[in-house]
Structure formats: C-alpha cells, structure tokens
Chain A
Amino acid sequence: MKKTIIVAGAAGEGINTVEMFIEKILKHSGYSIYSYKNYMSRVRGGYNYSTIVVSSDPVYAIEEQGDIFIALNKEAHELASVQLKEDGLLISEMNHDNVKTILFSKEEMPHEVKGKNAFAMASVGWVLKYFGVTESNLERITNKKWRPEVNASNLAAATWGYEKATLTADFSKEQPERILVNGNQAVALGALSAGLSFYSAYPMAPSTGIMTYLSANEKEMNIIVEQTEDEIAGIMAAVGASSNGVRAMTGTSGGGFALMVETLGFAAVSETPLVVCNVQRPGPATGLPTRTEQADLAFVVTASQGEFARIVLAPLTVEDAFYTTHRAFNLADKYQVPVVILTDQLLADSTQSIPIFDTKSLSNERYLTVEPVEDYKRYDYDAISGGRKYPGIDKETIIMTDSHVHDPYGHVTEDEQATVLLKNKFMKRMDAIRTEAKAPLFHGSEDYETLFISWGSTYGALKEAVDSLIENGEKVALLAFSDVFPLSESIMDPYLSKKPFIINVEGNAMNQFGQILRMETGVRWQASINKYDGRPFTANYIMNEFEVIRNGQSK
C-alpha cells in the first residue's frame, strides 16, 4: 500500500518544515519514504510543493496526484482539485466546493495553539495520526536550533491536529535501520567516504546542496570547502589540489559546467584525477533553474577541445549516487582522468529512506607510487593506469604538471612522435575504461518482448512503470545505464537475442543517450518516450506513453 501527500504553498510558508517532520517521523515509524521538491527560482512567494510518497515497500518515484493535500495558502487550496486524486483529502483552513476537506479553521483553534505555524503543524499532527503514529512520537516535532517557545507551540498545534484525526490507514512495517537522505547529500557522502579533502565550487541551483552539506561538516571531516569566484576557479582549484595529492571535487549545474570545460581538458592532459558533479537542470543558458532535465549528456561526453579519455557516470537512485560517487574517485585515481557524475534536479531534490550506507564494503584505492623511483617519468606513455606521484610524495622526486603536449617528464614538446604517443595513451585508457564499465542494470520479465532503455535518474519511474506493466501481464523489461560513457561496442549483445522492441526513455527531447548508444553499438531504438517540460517522469506518464506507442503499432 502506498499514499502520496502533497504539501503546497509559497516559498517561506513552511513547506520544507512540514515535509521534514512528516518524513522523519513516518520513516521512524516504519514507512518507506520518497519525496521530491517542486519549487520556483525565487526566495519568497510563488507556488511550490513537496510530494511525499509513503509506502510499506521501497518507493522509487513520485506520483503526480496526491491522496492527501495540505494547502498552506489560498492558491494551493484552489489547486487541490487538480493535484488530488478523485477520492483525495484536502487539509485546509477553508472549505472546498469540490474536494473532501479536513477543515482547520482559525476560529476553531484554541488560543494556545494559534502560533505562526499553527495550521502547518496541526496538519503534521493530523497526518501522523492518519498513518497510525503513536502519540509519544509527537515529541519528535522539535528542532534543536529553534527557540523553546517555538518548539512548544509547534507541539501544541500538532497535538491538536493529531487529536482531530479519526481516519487511519496504518500500513507501517518493521524496517531495518535506514537513513533519510537526498541525492545531493548522497553525492557529498560518497565523496567523503572516498576521502574527499577539498571541494571548491560556485553556488548554482540545483547543485548547491552538495557544497552546503560538505560545508556543514567541514570541521568534523577535516576538509576544506572553498566557495570560489566563479566555476572556472572552482574546477581549476580542484585540479590544483588534486595535482598536489588530495582527493578533490567540484560541483555545478550545466551553465557552470559550460564554464569549466577548458579545465576539464587540462585535467585530462595533465593526467590529474578529478571528479565533477553536474546536477543537470533544463538549459540552454539560464533555462529553468530549479527544474529537472537530462539534456547535458551529449555536451558532457564531448566537452572541451581535443580528444582525451574521460568517464561519465549517471547514478540511478539516491542510494546509487553514494556508491557511484565513491567509485568515481577510485576510477579517477586509477586512470588519472576527469570523471563527470551526471545527476539532475530530480535526484538532487529527492529524499529517500534507504538502508544505511555500507562503508565497510568500500575501499579507497589511490594507485600511487609512494617510494622514490630511479628516473621517474610522471607521464610515462605506457602507464595506462596507476604509478602516479605528486609533489612531496617522496623526498626526492620533482613533479611537473603540464597543460601542453609534453615529454614523459612533463616538459613542453612539439615533437610529432610525442604527440602521437600521448594521444595513443589516452585512447588505450578509453579502451581500459570501456572494459571496466559496469553493465546496465536489468529489471523485468525474463521473456520480455519490449525492452526499455534508460540512463540515470529515469530508472526510478521506469522501474515502477515496468513493475505495474508486468502486473498487468505485459512482457517488458528495462535496462538502466549508470556508466554512460564510454560504452563498449558489445554492451547490448546479451539483451538482443530475442529481438525485443526497443523503447528509449529519456528526460530530454533528442534521445541523447539513445544516440550515443547507437553510435557506439549500432543498436537502434524503435520508439521513444521523452519528457522535457522540466518535471520528472512518473510511472503513470511512462505507462500512458507506452499505451500510445502500442496503439500506434497496431494501427
């Protein structure tokens, strides 16, 4: 069983607070949570909402319409009829003509409850009772950073709302220890687990959460988080730090990444390990700052002049964002290449209750040569992986890090043969990376006739769609790619023996991954499902589009 709660209002009216209390306490009470923030690019006002899916089983995507809708203002109140399912419930300060309403009118509230957040907190209380949370758990409605009076009046309002609820739908279930984490935090934690020491970036929605989380834990983790003057400095400082021995990273969104591309090539030619997270938002230019899209892939795989080795990884879920980011650092060190992690606003602003990350299963591999070496060549043309030294790693070796075509010692050369040997080294690196790439995740029925192809965060909604279609008797399966570039030519071979009908599913208009897949493997898609309205995929959307494609086929 699964229910969706939508909390709607203007920026600054408490959407985040309501969401935080509901998801924390419901998670604690044994529910699985998946929530997503839908917000405008502004500081106050506008129309924003958070969608919280509450289930007894793990959830991978949001639904468009809610079962419960908390309206924090009049505009939200009016939109409830659109955003609620037919039998949905509205919690509001006013009665609604077309929707069944739980009315919390100001007049009705006792005097001691009437704080600034009274309605919002009463709604939290009501929701918690609805999901069968015991009254003792209401004490969790406190925030240590707030004044005691605020916490007390919040609790009073929540208790009042709690007592008003009579409907209940308890489908909680015994759960192992889980954490509530969003995609940006998962990337930050993955980096910290890998031994990140230095993060330099310029604020840009929707990537800023990575930097904020790291900064909040800067002292405890003994790291340096530096806000730079621009993205060019952000990435170059990370290269400067990495070339001097620490694990370093930068993060941005597409516009910032556009500014970083020259240094991306510098990282590659100077063979400096580098991890860059591009949290995609719709472009071009300023685009939709706080919305989602998967439209930077084609740009990222070719960004920067010249030819060089790189790795592009697109985590499938919040949990995968952690493990993939950790892996990104090991790959960057192993091959001394830039690794771009492509997430998006959907993943960044999705919070999921997931099993605690298993740090014991991880190891940090640096691929360094620590001891002095006779006639050490920093840029040995035959060293495809490993063997790196940095200034100060031993007491003897002198290290030159260089942006030109260089000799094996890092000094500028215009020699033809050196030019070719350096390029050949990069190409051999690409081959090694292709071999090491993770196979796509397969999910669905073994006797599939339709095969969906996806990459990155689209996996969540697609998985739910595939599960529902299978329940409806369809023979479908999906492939979800996290290692999106470079691809090996044979990567699709295991999945084609039954000659499935291939549907490419991407959060962009141009089927960018489909095109890369076709270019690298020759495999074509027969139909595609695309979404490029700045909003995330849902299972319903994919199922409806699937229906359209099938109807088109049968004509």
Chain B
Amino acid sequence: MVNLNKLNVVKNDNPFVTNNPTSWCPGCGNFSILDSINQVLYEEGLTPQDVLMVSGIGQAAKLPHYIHAHGLNTLHGRALPAAMGAQAANNSVKMLVTSGDGDTYGEGGNHFLHNVRRNLDLVHIVHDNQIYGLTKGQGSPTTALGQKTRLQFDGMRHEPLNPVALAISLGCTFVARSFSGDPKHLQKTIKAALDHKGYALIDVMQPCVSFNEVNTFKWYKERVFEIASDHDVTDKVKAFELAQTFGDEGIPIGILYREESPSFMERIPHIDRPLVDYVRKPEDIDSLLNRMID
C-alpha cells in the first residue's frame, strides 16, 4: 500500500525539524545546511506557515521535502522564476531558495542574472559542491579547470564560474559565502541574509562526499578564512577584489557585499498588499469596456 506518511515533525521546540529520511549520502554537506536553516528560522521566531522553501532539481533541491514549511519543488534550473511568481502572488511569506551549483549557475543561469536584477526579496542558498551530485559526478559550472570528473576524464576544459564575483557585478544586494563545515558561521550568515531586504545570495562551499575527490571537507577546511571585520561591505570595488580570492590562496567566507535598494515588490507600488488578498469580480472590467464604446 502507498506510504501515506506525512512529514514526521520531531517533537521538540523547533517546528521546522522533521525526521523524514533523506536521500542524501551519509556525511553529505547538505545535512548541516538543513540543520542551520531549521535553527535560524526557529531563532527568528518564524513558524512553518510563514516560510516558503523554493527549489529546482538536484540533491540540494530536495531540501524543501525535509523541512516542515511550505514548499515549491519545481524543475531543474527554474526555482527562481517560480519564486518570482510566488513572491508576486504573496510577499507576506519569507522565501528561501535552496539549489545546487548546477541548478543555479548552469541550467538556471539566465534566471539567476535577471532575478538578481529584480532584487527579489529572498535568501538564495546555493549548495556549491563544485560537482554534479544527482547525475553522478559530472563537472559543474564551478568545477576547477583541469579537474578530472566521472565525465571529464582528461579534466575540465572550461574556466570555472565565480558566483560571488558574478553576483557583485550584477548588482546583487547581498553577497555572501559560507562553509557547510562551519555551522556557526553558516547560521550567522543565513540570519544576516534573512534580515536583508532584497536578493541575498549565500554561496555555501560544501563537500560532495561521493563524487568530488578534490574539494573535500579537508580541502575546504584548510582554505576558508573569515573575512576581516574591517572589510567595508558597501565598497563594491573592494568586494569584487575580495571575490577574486579562491582556492589555494584561501576562500574568504562571510558577507562580501551589501547594499540597500528597493526590492521587487517595492518597485511595484500600486500593489499595496499581498496580491492574493485583492478581491476580484467580472464587473471590474466594466470601466475598461465603457471606454471602448466611444
């Protein structure tokens, strides 16, 4: 018979936590991202009814199924346009997008460019493990040049994409990087992102224990360093410079850039409450029709 199990909500104080089985590999960096999201949402005083988790397809994109909150699990690469429509319909919910590096920067690259421009009000957590997980080990847009994969037998032929530099150049209003192996840092960053009004990107470095033999937990651990406290997050040029640092010269984690700018819905001032709350009836168009008589 069909397994009709609802998400098993864990009986503790945090209503977001479930003990549903995941399809992630043991030791996967996704677990600590999930735990961190749960923890921050709880600490922010939100309820599951206040939150909409949006995703595309991939191992990271399964996350909405493992958290007790509203979910919208769409198609590969398409989380952001769905998030945009959802936000247009009801901007009273807190929105988080969780997706992988392939989902966000590959299949969904065009949507990433344009929804950063829209300054959607959301937290976009990219589980960046520099490899394709669900399709079993092909190169992703962030895999290093020359790195051998289960498809690129002689190594990657393309330069890797630099997500944080790209985001800064696009005018993303909150650009941060974090590491799944440092839950404290990750939680601090997610909290700051949730408090930001506008598009908050967090590129989370995360080991893929099954398919990325180069960018391991140890590899990241040896390279990540917290951005100096005197870094001016409002200095776009400095932020862009800092965003160039990656790999053996170290991986800066923390908030690289932040600016205040009207969000997507703030730029549509004629809608002064959630769109879903407007009451509509057929006669609403009579004013338009009457003008067509003349």
Contacts and interface: CB of A to CB of B under 8 A. Distances in A.
B88 A398 contact: no
B271 interface: yes
B49 interface: yes
Interface stretch (A42-50, A217-225, A444-452): A217-225
Interface stretch (B78-86, B132-140, B205-213, B249-257): B78-86
Contact of B287 (A220, A223, A417): A220
Interface stretch (A158-166, A233-241, A283-291): A233-241
Interface string A289-328: 0000000000000000000000000000000000000100
Interface size class of A (residues with CB under 8 A): 35 or more
A225 B283 CA distance: 20
Interface size class of B (residues with CB under 8 A): 35 or more
A413 B81 CA distance: 25
Interface stretch (B66-74, B151-159, B172-180, B232-240): B66-74
A27 to B, nearest CB: 9
A179 B285 CA distance: 13
A57 B270 CA distance: 43
A326 B280 CA distance: 13
A371 B286 CA distance: 32
Nearest to A236: B81
Contact of B2 (A362, A401, A412, A417): A417
Interface in B241-294: 268, 270-271, 274-276, 278, 280-290, 292-294
B57 interface: yes
* Residue in A180, A197, A241 with the greatest tally of chain B CB atoms within 10 Å: A241
B86 A243 contact: yes
Nearest to A418: B2
A22 to B, nearest CB: 15
B82 A239 contact: yes
Interface string B89-112: 110110000000000000000110
A237 B84 contact: yes
Given A241-B86, A359-B283, A362-B282, A266 B270 contact: no
A138 to B, nearest CB: 15
Interface in A192-209: 192-195, 197-198, 200
Given A375-B6, A413-B3, 20 more contacts: A24-B294, A193-B285, A194-B282, A197-B275, A197-B276, A197-B278, A221-B285, A232-B81, A236-B81, A240-B54, A240-B74, A240-B83, A246-B89, A356-B289, A357-B285, A357-B289, A392-B276, A407-B3, A408-B4, A415-B3
Interface of A: 24, 28, 177-181, 189, 192-195, 197-198, 200, 217-224, 226, 228-230, 232-234, 236-248, 262-263, 266, 326, 356-357, 359-360, 362-364, 375, 390-392, 395-396, 398-404, 407-413, 415, 417-418, 421
- 5 cross-chain pairs, A with B, having the tightest CB-CB distances, nearest first: A240-B85, A195-B280, A237-B85, A240-B82, A241-B85
24 contacts: A189-B288, A220-B288, A221-B284, A233-B84, A236-B81, A239-B82, A240-B89, A241-B88, A242-B85, A243-B72, A244-B52, A244-B85, A246-B90, A266-B74, A363-B282, A391-B52, A392-B49, A392-B90, A395-B49, A401-B71, A403-B57, A413-B2, A418-B2, A421-B2
